[in-house]
A and B are shown apart, each in its own frame.
Chain A
Amino acid sequence: MQWSHNMRFFQSYAMKKQLWIIVVIIIAAILPTIIGAFWINVAVEILIMGLFAVSFNMIFGYMGQLSFGHAAFYGVGAYTVGLLMAKLSIPFSLSLIAAMLSAGAFALIIGYFCIRLTGIYFAILTLSFGQLIYYIVFEWYSFTGGDNGLQGIAAPHLLSSVTAYYYFTLVIVIAALIVMWYISRSPFGYTMRAIRDNANRTRFLGINVKRYMLINFVIAGAFAGLAGGLWGPFNQSISPDLLNWTESGIPVFMTVIGGSASFLGPMVGSIIYTFLNAFVTGFTQYWPLIIGIVIMLIILFSPGGIQGLIDKWYKHSDSSDENIEL
Chain B
Amino acid sequence: MNMTDILKVEHLCKSFGGIMATQDVSYSMKSGEFSAIVGPNGAGKTTFFHLISGYHRADSGSVWYKEKNITKWPPHKIARLGVTRCFQVSNNYPMLTTYENVRQAVLTQKKRTLNLFTPAKNLAVEETLNILDMVGISDNANTMAGNLSQGDKKILEIAMALGSKPELLYLDEPTAGMSSDETYKTMELIKRLNEQMGVTILFTEHDMPVVFGYAHRLTVLHQGAIIADGIPEEVRSDKMVQKVYLGEEE
Contact = CB atoms under 8 A, between A and B. Distances in A.
A208 interface: yes
A235 B44 CA distance: 64
Contacts of B99: 320
Interface residues of A, number: 35
Given A3-B142, A186-B116, A189-B120, A207 B76 contact: yes
**Max chain A C-beta neighbours (<10 A), residue from B91, B100, B103, B139:** B100
Interface residues of B, number: 46
A128 interface: no
A282 B93 CA distance: 46
B117 A183 contact: yes
A292 interface: no
- A interface majority secondary structure: helix
**Max chain B C-beta neighbours (<10 A), residue from A183, A190, A318:** A190
A187 B115 contact: yes
Nearest to B170: A204
Contact of B104 (A6, A190, A209): A190
Interface in B141-162: 141-144, 147, 160
B141 A194 contact: no
A36 interface: no
B35 interface: no
B112 interface: yes
B100 A321 contact: yes
B105 A205 contact: yes
Interface string A180-215: 001101111111011011101111111111001001
Interface of B: 53, 55, 74-77, 79-80, 84-85, 87, 91-97, 99-100, 103-105, 107-109, 112-121, 123, 138-139, 141-144, 147, 160, 164
Interface of A: 2-3, 6-7, 182-183, 185-191, 193-194, 196-198, 200-209, 212, 215, 318-322
Given A6-B142, A204-B75, 12 more contacts: A7-B142, A183-B116, A187-B112, A188-B114, A190-B104, A194-B104, A201-B91, A203-B79, A207-B113, A212-B113, A321-B96, A322-B121
